[in-house]
Copies of this chain bind each other. A is one copy, B any other.
């Protein structure tokens, strides 16, 4: 399923979300990378899990658990909530995907493998999501945390706004 048949040739640059890129190969690459990771770390990339990851990669935007579930049903997998939630739990725990708290939705990771604390830019118009690496330990929050004696273990950074496309269209 090609979302954009004639995507520009080699513009596969960093903040993946908002830049044109060869999506098919991007999906395949990421899937292969995930499989490799699983082998390496002794994890099981089962059919449901792979299917969910594939969907998230294809969409390249945040998807709700029940939207995912619908597609799983169509694809012949189990059709009850736990099926989707369990696959998502696996993908999130192992950092193949992330949860966007603000949307109660999920998105494929753009930096698989690399241990990271992600920051997201979420377009409020088209729901596109781009993932950047966040340096939580630095910056104002890190300083505030140290001052307060708070031990940061994990951080959620979600910026909402307009993606380049939607900004243009809004002229």
**Bound complex: CA of A141 vs CA of B133, how far in Å?**
8
Identify which of B121, B144, B145 contacts A145 (C-beta below 8 A).
B121
* Chain A, interface residues (CB within 8 Å), range: 35 or more
Smallest CB separation, A144 vs chain B (Å):
4
Smallest CB separation, A35 vs chain B (Å):
28
Contact check, B157 vs A161: say whether CB atoms are below 8 A apart: no
Closest to A130 in B: B148
Contact check, B141 vs A157: say whether CB atoms are below 8 A apart: yes
A residues in contact (CB < 8 Å) with B = 14-15, 17-19, 101-102, 119, 121, 123-124, 130, 132-136, 138-141, 144-145, 147-164, 167
Contact check, B148 vs A15: say whether CB atoms are below 8 A apart: yes
**Bound complex: CA of A156 vs CA of B101, how far in Å?**
9
Closest to A150 in B: B121
Contact check, A152 vs B161: say whether CB atoms are below 8 A apart: yes
Q: A15-B147, A135-B139, A156-B158 are in contact. List 11 more A-B contacts (CB 8 A).
A: A14-B147, A18-B148, A101-B101, A119-B140, A119-B141, A130-B148, A134-B141, A150-B164, A151-B161, A151-B167, A155-B159
**Bound complex: CA of A101 vs CA of B122, how far in Å?**
15
